[in-house]
């Protein structure tokens, strides 16, 4: 072991040069100056590339991921905002008229049904459905409509596609459709609709609407079966040729398939044939599932090299709409730009007086689209989106729950209105009741809460009275909802009228003072409960009535609070409510097998603005249990009286007679109370002063073309609102730099490196 001596702490050390100390002392101020200079020249909170805000560009955001922009598959509202600006359908909705009204888009007129009897003769008038063997709609297209420029339309001089049998080498560096130098277009043909509909029959696409469409369009089942066989053969051949069919799916020639439900008459006309009388079919012609599909696009995108370059119909739809895809990075942003081939349709020139006062008719008759480019930015979190909106970097926004009080306040009339801060910024509030219902459902197969006996009805009515949904809306939705009086939301034919006549008399009364419906007194509910055999909530066996709420929301803090509210409401009746939580899959199994008692806030969003799309939720044949999970009658309601009325109104043309039947059906449901009619959500959208012609439309998303931006005003506001605040930073930097210098200069010599 070597001996060690203690180090001599007083040993002389090398003297640090004085110059080095000064140099070190100067370092912090220099660093501070450098940071200050960088901040002065580059600090900006503008999230967009320079110069974009000066353009007529509309900036908006989406918060859910984009799954597909293929018109055969896309099924989400935020995807519709993009897709429906690119593709067009035979019909659309009028932008301003309410209730929602269909109008022609690609078609020259709204088609009229022709009813064919079982003997092949044309039936006149509005025949009963049992007399109708099939229905025909002849759709005539506006001539001269052209697709957007796209490489799939580019042709060689001999007429063959310019881009065929492409190799990965050909596509090196191609990331966007715009990168292809040769682009062309062609006129819209009737056959493109046939290709689109046959394609929906392809099982590989798993289109979410196939099973609905095949229930009324003739021959889709047969077409699907034939396609399935042909695809299997094609895949076997392709596999033998060494093609990886998982990565490079085969493409059957959809043009050569016979589909009885869609017959091409000539280049500009096709016939849609229905297997049964179904007047609501016309609304489907306004959905993007009916957007035309040029065969050239399918052939182009099915080339293996194109698929490997990640250029597909899912991201690069082809259409005749006002816009076309420019950049598609769904995980980050999507940019669409004006389609130079768009036919420039005029802005609507008819609307209500309210529309006129709101300035929505200022651009009447002017050529659209107004906006050159639209940027959709993926924002996963609500707070950053909100901050950017307040900074003027988004032109519109919803209101995050956490920020609701900052944006909206109760005005002296007790109505929700913009806060002073928002008004000073020139922000506008746009509201609209969504064509949606959230209800509290009773399982009609359950021996306690289900059934159609008077006692069971009274039990459900008593619970419905106790569940004061206005209170629920105030507490949990910040007032963003309307108490439902029936299953049909406002704005749709047959919806309860505003006023005393529209009140559900079994649950609500009319408050003359506030001019709104309000729940009947809780004593009425207690009386009904006693009549039902549960006085003060005590059952015939002397035990308190206990009900079980089945749900899949365990662990969600929002649900916990809502359940407390439910428990408090049930306590008013002396009813004990218990949770029966399960995971989502088990909960679905319970619903499908009818093994549940009560469910909370089950929702339904309309596909089209017809009361049939809501009333069918209670048609007995659609009972989830009876139909083996196929139907949407989740509460398994079954009433002969309701069924009879529904069957009549389902296939009847709109008119006073149908309206009377709708009201009759509504009244049956109100009395039977298979649900407590919860609420219709109200959408609150904020827009900046520079965004014009913004009118929320809950049924269609193809109205970007009507919006207009005052880019100069926006740029000015952005400058005013976002000037960097550097004074504080400079001061802090200065203090830190001086302190650091002082520390260095005054420190002991040996502490310096």
Partner 1 sequence: MTAYLLRRILYVIPTLIGVNILVFLLFFLVNTPDDMARQALGDKAANPEQVQRWQEARGYDRPRFLNTAATGLAVLSDTIFWQKSAAMFWGNFGRSDMTLEPIGAEIRRRIAPSLCITLPIFAGSMLVNILVAMLVTARRGDRIDLGVQLICVLTMSISTLIYIIAGQFLFAKILRLVPVSGFLPGRDMLKFLALPVVVGIIGNIGGGIRLYRTLFLEEINRDYVRTARAKGLPESRVLFLHVLKNALIPILTNVPIQLLMLIMGNMLLENFFSIPGLGGYTIMAINTQDFAVVRAMVFLGSVLYLTGLVLTDICYAVVDPRVRLE
- What's the DSSP call for residue 161? B
Query: If binding is defined by CB under 8 A, does position 736 make contact with partner 1?
Result: no
Query: If binding is defined by CB under 8 A, does position 19 make contact with partner 1?
Result: no
User: Is the torsion defined by CA of 417, 421, 426, 428 positive or negative?
Assistant: negative
Among 158, 353, 381, 720, binds partner 1 (CB under 8 A): 381
Query: If binding is defined by CB under 8 A, does position 7 make contact with partner 1?
Result: yes
Helix axes 454-466, 656-672, angle to 10 degrees: 90
Residue 288: closest CA among 64, 146, 81, 101: 81
User: Is the torsion defined by CA of 191, 197, 200, 203 positive or negative?
Assistant: negative
Neighbours of 5 (CB within 10 A): 5
Of residues 639 through 658, those in contact with partner 1 by CB under 8 A are none
Among 26, 55, 75, 108, binds partner 1 (CB under 8 A): 75
**If you count them, how many residues does the chain have?**
753
> Which one, 383 or 735, has the nearer CB to partner 1?
383
> Which one, 66 or 272, has the nearer CB to partner 1?
66
Q: How far is the CB of 43 from partner 1 (least distance, A)?
A: 4
Q: How far is the CB of 728 from partner 1 (least distance, A)?
A: 7
Q: Edge-to-edge, what's the strand order for the sheet holding 122-123?
A: 122-123, 113-117, 132-140, 269-274, 262-266
Rg of the chain over all Cα atoms, to the nearest angstrom: 32
Among 1, 3, 18, 42, binds partner 1 (CB under 8 A): 42
Q: How far is the CB of 236 from partner 1 (least distance, A)?
A: 13
Query: If binding is defined by CB under 8 A, does position 174 make contact with partner 1?
Result: no
Q: How far is the CB of 733 from partner 1 (least distance, A)?
A: 13
Distance of CA 744 to the CA centre of its chain: 61
> Which one, 6 or 513, has the nearer CB to partner 1?
6
> Which one, 134 or 388, has the nearer CB to partner 1?
388
Among 118, 204, 344, 719, binds partner 1 (CB under 8 A): 204
> Which one, 15 or 357, has the nearer CB to partner 1?
15
314 contacts 60 by C-beta, under 8 angstroms:
no
Q: Using the rule CB under 8 A, give the single segment among 43-51, 260-268, 487-495, 553-561 that binds partner 1.
A: 43-51
> Which one, 11 or 112, has the nearer CB to partner 1?
11
Mask 550-589, x = binds partner 1 (CB under 8 A)?
----------------------------------xx--x-
Of residues 392 through 431, those in contact with partner 1 by CB under 8 A are 393
Residue 395: closest CA among 676, 704, 97: 704
Query: If binding is defined by CB under 8 A, does position 302 make contact with partner 1?
Result: no
> Which one, 118 or 380, has the nearer CB to partner 1?
380
Of residues 314 through 333, those in contact with partner 1 by CB under 8 A are 314, 329-332
258 contacts 119 by C-beta, under 8 angstroms:
no
Enumerate the H helices of 302-339 as residue ranges: 304-308
Rounded Cα gap, residues 643 and 623, in angstroms: 12
256: left (phi over 0), alpha (psi -120 to 50) or beta: alpha
Neighbours of 499 (CB within 10 A): 11
Query: If binding is defined by CB under 8 A, does position 500 make contact with partner 1?
Result: no
Q: Using the rule CB under 8 A, give the single segment among 65-73, 502-510, 517-525, 659-667 that binds partner 1.
A: 65-73
Rounded Cα gap, residues 299 and 426, in angstroms: 49
Q: How far is the CB of 204 from partner 1 (least distance, A)?
A: 5
Q: Using the rule CB under 8 A, give the single segment among 26-34, 359-367, 468-476, 719-727 that binds partner 1.
A: 719-727
> Which one, 270 or 393, has the nearer CB to partner 1?
393
> Which one, 380 or 560, has the nearer CB to partner 1?
380
Residues in Cβ contact with 171 at an 8 Å cutoff, skipping those fewer than 6 apart: 305, 306, 308, 309
> Which one, 399 or 465, has the nearer CB to partner 1?
399
Query: If binding is defined by CB under 8 A, does position 720 make contact with partner 1?
Result: no
Size of the site for partner 1 (CB under 8 A): 72
Q: SS3 for 348?
A: coil
Query: If binding is defined by CB under 8 A, does position 4 make contact with partner 1?
Result: yes
User: What torsion, rounded to 10 degrees, do the Cα atoms 720, 721, 726, 728 define?
Assistant: 120
Element at 11 (helix H, strand E): none
């Amino acid at each position: 072991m070597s001996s060690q001596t203690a180090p001599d702490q007083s040993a002389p050390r090398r003297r640090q040069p004085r110059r080095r100390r000064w140099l070190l002392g100067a370092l912090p101020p220099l660093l501070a100056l450098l940071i200050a200079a960088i901040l002065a020249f580059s600090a900006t909170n503008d999230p967009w590339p320079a110069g974009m805000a000066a353009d007529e560009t509309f900036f908006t955001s989406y918060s859910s991921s984009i799954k597909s922009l293929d018109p055969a598959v896309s099924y989400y509202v935020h995807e519709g905002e993009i897709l429906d600006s690119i593709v067009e359908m035979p019909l659309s909705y009028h932008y301003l008229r309410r209730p929602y009204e269909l109008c022609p888009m690609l078609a020259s007129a709204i088609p009229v049904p022709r009813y064919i009897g079982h003997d092949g003769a044309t039936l006149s008038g509005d025949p009963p459905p049992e007399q109708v063997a099939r229905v025909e709609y002849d759709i005539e297209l506006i001539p001269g409509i052209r697709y957007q420029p796209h490489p799939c339309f580019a042709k060689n001089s001999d007429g063959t596609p310019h881009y065929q049998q492409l190799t990965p080498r050909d596509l090196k560096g191609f990331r966007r459709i715009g990168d292809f130098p040769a682009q062309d277009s062609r006129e819209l043909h009737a056959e493109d609709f046939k290709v689109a509909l046959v394609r929906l029959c392809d099982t590989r696409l798993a289109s979410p609407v196939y099973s609905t469409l095949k229930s009324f369009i003739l021959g889709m089942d047969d077409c699907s079966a034939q396609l399935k066989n042909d695809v299997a053969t094609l895949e076997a051949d392709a596999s033998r040729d060494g093609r990886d069919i998982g990565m490079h799916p085969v493409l059957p020639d959809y043009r050569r398939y016979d589909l009885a439900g869609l017959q091409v008459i000539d280049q500009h006309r096709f016939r849609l044939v229905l297997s049964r009388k179904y007047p609501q079919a016309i609304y489907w012609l306004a959905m993007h599932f009916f957007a035309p599909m040029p065969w050239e696009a399918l052939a182009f995108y099915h080339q293996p090299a194109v698929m490997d370059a990640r250029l597909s119909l899912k991201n690069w739809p082809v259409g005749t709409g006002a816009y076309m895809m420019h950049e598609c990075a769904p995980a980050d942003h999507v940019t669409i730009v004006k389609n130079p081939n768009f036919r420039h349709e005029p802005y609507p020139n008819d609307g209500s007086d309210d529309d006129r006062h709101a300035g929505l008719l200022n651009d009447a008759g002017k050529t659209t689209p107004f906006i050159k480019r639209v940027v959709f930015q993926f924002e996963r979190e609500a707070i950053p989106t909100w901050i950017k909106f307040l900074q003027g970097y988004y032109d519109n926004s919803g209101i995050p729950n956490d920020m609701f009080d900052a944006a909206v306040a109760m005005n002296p009339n007790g109505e929700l209105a913009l806060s002073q801060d928002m008004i000073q910024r020139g922000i506008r509030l746009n509201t609209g009741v969504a064509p949606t219902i959230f209800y509290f459902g009773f399982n009609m197969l359950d021996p306690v809460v289900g059934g159609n006996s008077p006692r069971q009805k009274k039990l459900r009515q008593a619970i419905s009275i106790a569940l004061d949904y206005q209170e629920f809306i105030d507490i949990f939705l910040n007032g963003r909802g309307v108490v439902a009086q029936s299953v049909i939301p406002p704005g749709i034919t047959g919806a309860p009228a505003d006023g005393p006549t529209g009140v559900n008399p079994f649950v609500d009364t009319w408050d003359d003072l506030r001019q709104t419906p309000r729940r009947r007194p809780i004593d009425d509910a207690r009386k009904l409960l006693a009549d039902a055999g549960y006085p003060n909530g005590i059952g015939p066996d002397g035990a308190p009535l206990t009900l079980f709420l089945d749900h899949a929301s365990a662990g969600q803090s929002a649900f916990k609070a809502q359940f407390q509210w439910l428990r408090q409401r049930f306590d008013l009746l002396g009813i004990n409510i218990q949770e029966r939580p399960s995971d989502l899959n088990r909960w679905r199994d319970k619903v499908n097998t009818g093994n549940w008692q009560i469910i909370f806030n089950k929702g339904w969003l309309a596909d089209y603005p017809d009361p049939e799309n809501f009333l069918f939720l209670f048609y007995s044949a659609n009972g989830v249990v009876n139909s083996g999970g196929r139907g949407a009658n989740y509460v398994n309601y079954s009433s002969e009286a309701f069924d009879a009325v529904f069957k009549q109104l389902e296939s009847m043309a709109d008119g006073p007679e149908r309206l009377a039947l709708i009201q009759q059906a509504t009244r049956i449901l109100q009395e039977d109370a298979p649900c407590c009619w919860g609420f219709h959500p109200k959408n609150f959208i904020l827009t900046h002063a520079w965004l014009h012609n913004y009118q929320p439309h809950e049924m269609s998303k193809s109205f970007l073309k009507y919006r207009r931006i005052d880019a100069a005003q926006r740029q000015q506001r952005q400058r005013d609102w976002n000037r960097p605040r550097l004074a504080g930073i400079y001061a802090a930097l200065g203090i830190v730099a001086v302190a650091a210098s002082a520390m260095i200069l005054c420190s002991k010599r040996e502490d310096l490196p």
